[in-house]
Structure 1
């Protein structure tokens, strides 16, 4: 059974500390853009043991952080778009 926050109700949250700062992965796209990506761990839960090996089972909740570091000028646009509240935004 899964609880509302998407964690199994029989698991146990495990405290953790990051031993090494996550590294940024730099990706150069074919269109000339460069993006950087890194993973940030949000929570870790121990959820029983594997029935075959007896090893603990861990579930990791993580999110990816993406930043754009280079964009070719020909890909930039200043056209107006309207957000869901009817306000104008520029991109």
Structure 2
């Protein structure tokens, strides 16, 4: 038999989904629920932070500076050792993508 259990399956699914485009659309109910499940049960703090950074970047790309700042602030809650100024980063990315 394979040495698999629900945790192994969840870890595998969350690792595959972490790079999926749906996670960038944090405003969808299914994306939020999936991120919450994976964050609670499968991902390390670094993996959580990476997903939040990607979501913040996607918000800034769409011109949603306030939402990007919120995501970057969540990153700092997960890893307070990161050198990240949420407002400056969101504005910098929004300006970059608006060119």
TM band (smaller chain): under 0.3
Larger radius of gyration: 1
More strand by share: 1
More helix by share: 2
Taking structure 2 as the reference length, the TM-score comes to: 0.18
